[in-house]
Amino acid sequence: MPVTAPLAFAHIGDLHLTGAETDNARDFSAIVAQLNEVDGLDFVFLPGDNADHGRPEQYALVRAGLDRLRLPVHVITGDHDVEGGGLDAFYAGLDVPRLPYAVDVQGVRCLFLDMCGPGSGGPDFRLGPDQVAWLAAELERAGGSDCALFMHGYPADLRGEGEAARVADLVHRGPVRLVEMGHTHYNELANDGRTVYAATRSTGQIEEGPVGYAVAALDGGVVSWRFKELARPWPFVLVTAPADRRLAHDAGHVVGERFTLRALVLGPADAVAFRIDDGPWQPMARPEGARCHEARVTWPAGARTIAVRAKAAGAEDTDVIEPATDPDGLPGSRGIGSDADALGAWPGRGLLGTQLGPNRNGRQW
């Protein structure tokens, strides 16, 4: 069946919920209300550390928020979810599918893993042999079709014997285009030349910047990702194609003289337009039944950036990318399955480059 829309989802960072009157509980409720205002997303992802101490009353707060969501939700485990000595409270309180599991969304095979249940607690991240075998079989079964992987941390964080190298190799050789993670507490993107790794700022223990959530998309193998601050009004723009040069990982992502520009616009928009470098704004349109606004673009020699702007009453938003133009300049890898290929600061994506958080390469924690 032909793919008619990119996979697009919202990623709410680690909640660490404790009580109903805390800032993160109020922020979570506000994020849910905000996401309920828009169409164009397939689901919401929670990357673990949902309840700060893994207690039933904390999961009740998470469940109450999820019950208000109009969108489907996928929830995985984090190290804080096993603080009670296991995952019984996690599954009983949230009523979510047992991990691991897989679903197909917009032609993408989405794989959800448990890095924490097989371990002994804390940052003892493990998948266990059965889950590693399941992942290998799922990637083989995908037969080259695009996959997205959802786990609490980088493969390099795994402590089971041989797991870090094995899982990193499976991801790198397989059809995994995007790995979405929590745990870091800071926004981060890494591109090893085959797979993009993305971590979203914590909602409950923020070491950098304002609260918000990420919007990610996978459009014909092209990964796009951008953080939305909760306080910013709609609309919100995410260019889904072509690939930005920093997120490109295939020679097919290099633009030619003509290409189709696509952008996901969330929230009301009276006008959507694009421009190349500092050139004039040109209109974009959303074809009937399509998720994205589109335009055919003629790319001038020497051009560098393309921007998409959406305007609504009293508000506007712009996303800017630098298309890949040199097949010899695509990103390579300094260490698969880890943050060795982190892109650093990228303000337009919400990346501050601070690395303030509990990840093994976090600073000042």
Residues 42, 160 within the same domain: yes
Residues 37, 160 within the same domain: yes
What range does the domain containing 28 cover? 7-232
Is the residue at 277 inside a domain? yes
Final residue belonging to a domain, choices 232, 261, 288 = 232
* The pLDDT of residue 356: 62
Is the residue at 339 inside a domain? no
Residues 103, 228 within the same domain: yes
Residues 82, 128 within the same domain: yes
Q: Is 152 strand, coil or helix?
A: coil
Residues 159, 288 within the same domain: no
Final residue belonging to a domain, choices 215, 232, 249 = 232
Q: Which CATH number characterizes residue 126's domain?
A: 3.60.21.10
Whether 131 contacts 101, CB under 8 Å = no
Is the residue at 348 inside a domain? no
Is the residue at 51 inside a domain? yes
Is the residue at 135 inside a domain? yes
Residues 177, 278 within the same domain: no
C-beta neighbour count of 60 within 10 angstroms? 15
Any idea which residue has 């723009």 for tokens? 237
Residues 217, 282 within the same domain: no
Whether 271 contacts 311, CB under 8 Å = yes
Is the residue at 64 inside a domain? yes
* DSSP string over 230-260: TTSPSPEEEEEES-BTTT--SGGGS--SEEE
| Secondary-structure percent of the chain, ordered helix, strand, coil, rounded to 5 | 20, 30, 50
Residues 105, 210 within the same domain: yes
Q: Which CATH number characterizes residue 287's domain?
A: 2.60.40.10
* The pLDDT of residue 268: 95
Task: Report the C-alpha gap between 295 and 316 in whole angstroms.
Answer: 19
Q: What is the pLDDT along the chain (365 residues), one digit of tens a residue?
A: 344 689 999 999 999 999 999 999 999 999 999 999 999 999 999 999 999 999 999 999 999 999 999 999 999 999 999 998 999 999 999 999 999 999 999 999 999 999 999 999 889 999 999 999 999 999 999 998 999 999 999 999 999 999 999 999 999 998 999 999 999 889 999 999 999 999 999 999 887 889 999 999 999 999 999 999 999 999 999 999 999 999 999 899 999 999 999 999 999 999 999 999 999 999 999 999 999 999 999 999 999 999 999 999 989 999 999 999 999 888 888 889 999 999 999 999 999 987 666 656 656 65
Residues 150, 82 within the same domain: yes
* The pLDDT of residue 334: 87
* The pLDDT of residue 185: 86
- Total domains in the fold of the chain: 2
Any idea which residue has 């169409």 for tokens? 39
Which residues lie closer than 8 Å to 320 by C-beta, 6 or more apart? 239, 305, 306, 307, 308, 348
The answer to whether the predicted template modeling score (pTM) of the entire model surpasses 0.85 is: yes
Is the residue at 258 inside a domain? yes
Final residue belonging to a domain, choices 191, 215, 232 = 232
Backbone angles phi, psi at 332, to 5 degrees: -115, -170
* The pLDDT of residue 122: 86
Residues 296, 152 within the same domain: no
Residues 210, 287 within the same domain: no
Is the residue at 314 inside a domain? yes
Residues 270, 320 within the same domain: yes
* The pLDDT of residue 355: 67
